Amino acid sequence: MAHEETAGTALVTGASSGIGAEYAVRLARRGHDLVLVARRADRLEALAGRLREEAGVAVEPVVADLAHSADLARIAERASADDVALLVNNAGINGYGPFAEVDAGLLAKVIAVNVTAPTILTRAAVPGMLARGRGAVVNVASLLAFAGDLPPGPLPHRAVYGGTKGYVVAFTRTLAAELAGAPVRVQVVCPGLTATEFHLGTGEAPVPGEARVHGDGGMLAADVVTASLAALETGEVVCVPGLTDADAVARLADAELALRGGSGTTLAPRYGDAERAHE
CA 90 to chain centre: 5
Spatial distance between the Cα atoms of 17 and 2, rounded to a whole number of angstroms:
26
Annotate 150-164 with DSSP letters as a single string.
PPBTTBPP-HHHHHH
φ, ψ for residue 206 (rounded to 5)? -60, 150
Spatial distance between the Cα atoms of 158 and 179, rounded to a whole number of angstroms:
31
Residues facing residue 63 across a β-bridge: 38
Cβ-in-10-Å burial (0-12, 13-18, 19+) of 223 comes to middle
CA distances (Å), 17 to each of 41, 47, 174, in order?
12, 9, 29
- Residue 20: name the closest of 37, 7, 32 by CA: 37
Helix boundaries (H) for 114-183: 117-132, 159-178
**b (16+ CB within 10 A) / e for 116-134:** bbbbbbbebbbebbeebeb
Set 96, 161, 167, 271: catalytic member: 161
Active site residue 161: yes
Indicate the length of the chain as a whole number: 279
| Catalytic machinery residues | 161
